[in-house]
């Protein structure tokens, strides 16, 4: 469990998600890799080409602003916790930031395939928190273990483990990958 992926968005649970990832990283001396998560902005055609550009361009600009805010939050959190950047440490928890990740929740599943675990927030009914699409992408598209951060900052991590067993080879694979956590 040496590599942790954290999709970062600016919402009311960002610090809790980062705290959960850091708790886990301290246990396993892991590297936390963050990236800015933004909803996909799919180009579209409209009856009026000028009208389409008026709608689409602000969406792209808004995602760029969201990405900058996510990066700022991540860097600020790591600095506040005195966690060193990955290129300056040999042991213990560290962090890195992945730039220029395309927008869209599907990227969580795509990137999550090469990390030991992905940490996401628990989706709720509120609009200002983690989205269900993000959780779904981590669970169903990565094929790797997923750590779902609680709504409040955790006192511990990994004491209670839930396995959504559906007798598939993908589930067996994810459980096998999670054995370091289960063994604790």
CATH number of the domain located at residue range(s) 3-182 in this protein: 3.40.50.620
Q: Centre a 10 Å sphere on the Cβ of residue 141 and count the other Cβ atoms it contains.
A: 17
Residue 55: its pLDDT value, please?
59
Residue 163: its pLDDT value, please?
81
Residue 161: its pLDDT value, please?
80
Query: In this structure, what DSSP letter does residue 102 have?
Result: P
- Map out the domains of the chain as residue ranges: 3-182
pTM: 0.85
Tell me the two tokens of residue 5.
């992926």
Q: Centre a 10 Å sphere on the Cβ of residue 178 and count the other Cβ atoms it contains.
A: 20
Q: Going residue by residue through the chain (184 aa), what tens digit of pLDDT does each one get?
A: 899 999 999 988 999 999 999 999 999 999 999 999 987 766 655 555 555 555 556 666 767 888 999 999 999 999 999 999 988 777 889 999 999 898 889 999 999 999 999 999 988 766 667 888 899 999 899 989 999 999 888 888 877 788 878 888 888 888 888 888 888 7
Interatomic CA distance for residues 22 and 159, integer angstroms: 16
Tell me the two tokens of residue 147.
């750590």
């Amino acid at each position: 469990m040496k590599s942790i992926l954290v999709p970062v968005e600016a919402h009311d649970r960002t610090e809790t998600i980062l705290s959960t990832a850091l708790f886990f990283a301290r246990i396993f001396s892991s590297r936390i890799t963050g990236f800015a998560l933004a909803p996909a902005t799919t180009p579209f055609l409209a009856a009026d080409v000028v009208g389409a550009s008026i709608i689409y361009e602000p969406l792209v600009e808004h995602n760029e602003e969201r990405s900058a805010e996510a990066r700022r939050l991540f860097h600020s959190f790591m600095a506040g916790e005195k966690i060193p950047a990955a290129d300056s440490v040999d042991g213990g928890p560290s962090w890195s930031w992945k730039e220029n990740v395309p927008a869209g929740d599907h990227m969580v599943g795509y990137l999550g395939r090469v990390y030991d675990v992905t940490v996401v927030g628990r989706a709720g009914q509120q609009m200002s928190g983690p989205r269900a699409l993000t959780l779904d992408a981590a669970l169903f598209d990565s094929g790797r273990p997923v750590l779902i951060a609680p709504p409040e900052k955790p006192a511990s991590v990994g004491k209670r483990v839930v396995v959504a067993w559906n007798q598939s080879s993908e589930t067996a694979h994810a459980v096998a990958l999670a054995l370091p956590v289960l063994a604790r």
